[in-house]
Structure formats: structure tokens, C-alpha cells
Structure 1
Amino acid sequence: MKNLTLIGIILLALAFLLYYLMPQFSFIKLFEPINLMGILAGIGIGLIIGGLVGYVSKGSSIRKENQRKKYVQLQKEKEALEIQAAELAKNQTLADKEIDEKNRPNQF
């Protein structure tokens, strides 16, 4: 947004410079209706373009933030699932050992 403001100021200064370089330059002519309409039209177009660019950039930043949040949530879920898998594997090995111990005395 700051870049758009800077570009708008530069373009406005360029418009005044070009108007000043006109052969029949007069400061009073700057405020004639036709010139004021041109200035107001330029400002209006700039505001419309700036609003559209701001809307698009805000939408994309919101989408990126949502993606980041989902990614962090998925990482947390993955860690929780890994912990559960480790616990299940540990319980399974303990259960297998108990079964083996129960079956060994029967084999002798």
C-alpha cells in the first residue's frame, strides 16, 4: 500500500510538471473546470485501482495465513499420531512378550 501511495504522488507530480511545461501555462488555468475534471478523474481512477489492488492483496494474505494455520494444525496432529503409534507399538511388544512368557512354560 505504501508503494501505491508513492507511485500516486510521483504520477501527480509528473502531471503538474507536464502542465507547467505547457507553452501557455498559467496557475489560474489550473483551476478551470476542464482541468479540475481531469485532476478529479485521475484521482478517482487512482482510488479505484488502489482499492482493487488492496482488496486482492488482503485476500491473498488472508489465504496464506489460513494455509499457515492449517499447516501448523496438521503438524500438531501428526506429532500426536506419532506419539499414539509409539505407544501402541510399545503396548503391542509388551503384549507379545506376555503371550510368549505364558506359552513357554507350556512348552516344557
Structure 2
Amino acid sequence: MKNLTIIGLILLALSILLFYLTANNFTINDLGMPHIMGILGGIGIGLIIGGMVGYVSKGSAIKAEQKRKEFQKLQQEKEELEKRAADIARREAELNLRNENPQV
């Protein structure tokens, strides 16, 4: 979002600079169809660039969310496997203890 704002400000500054370089002694009465077309074109370019940047940033945010969910799932599976391994080790220890000390 920050990049989009910076790009928008740069394009706005560039358009203002070009406007003042090409329009000497401009008054509001001199506003004609070419100026309106330029304004609409600038808005259109801004919307196109904004849409592309938004699409890319949303895609990367979705990918990051998927990676985070996958990581959490892997952590849960690891904890379950550790619990199972501890349970198996405990059972083996109990069996070894019973085999070493048989009750008569």
C-alpha cells in the first residue's frame, strides 16, 4: 500500500510539472476537452496501476497465510508424533520392567 501511494504521488507531481510547463497563463476558463481527457487518462492509469499492485499484494498475502497455516498444521502433527513416541517409550519401559521382575 505504501508503494502505491508513493507511485501515485510521483505520477501526480509529474502531471503537475508537465501541466505547468505546457500551459502558460492558464485560467479556469481555458479548461477544455484536452485537459479533461488528460485528467481522465491520469485517473485511468492510476486505477490500472493500483489494481495491478493490489492484485499482486493480495496474492502474496494469501500465499503467506497458506504457509502460516501449513506451518501450524506441521507443528501440531509434530506434537502428536512426539506424544505417540513418548507413549510407546513408556509402554516399552513398562514391558521391560515386567520382564525383568516377573511376579510369581
* TM tier, smaller: 0.7 to 0.9
CA distance in 2, matches of 1:73, 1:48: 38
For 1:87, the equivalent position in structure 2 comes to 87
1:3 aligns to what SS in structure 2?
A: helix
2:102 aligns to what SS in structure 1?
A: helix
For 1:71, the equivalent position in structure 2 comes to 71
CA distance in 2, matches of 1:46, 1:95: 73
TM-score by length of 2: 0.82
For 1:52, the equivalent position in structure 2 comes to 52
Task: Give unpaired runs (5+ residues) of structure 1.
Answer: none
For 1:8, the equivalent position in structure 2 comes to 8
Matched letter for residue 71 of structure 1 = F
Matched letter for residue 10 of structure 1 = I
TM-score by length of 1: 0.79
For 2:102, the equivalent position in structure 1 comes to 102
Q: Does 1:42 align with 2:70?
A: no
Deviation at 1:30, TM superposition (A): 6.2
Deviation at 1:43, TM superposition (A): 1.1
Deviation at 1:29, TM superposition (A): 7.1
Matched letter for residue 20 of structure 1 = Y
Post-superposition Cα deviations, 1:23-53, rounded to whole Å, max 9, x if no partner, equal 6442347621112112211210110111121
Q: CA RMSD in A?
A: 2.3
CA distance in 2, matches of 1:36, 1:30: 11
Count of equivalent residues: 104
Report the structure number with the largest CA radius of gyration: 1
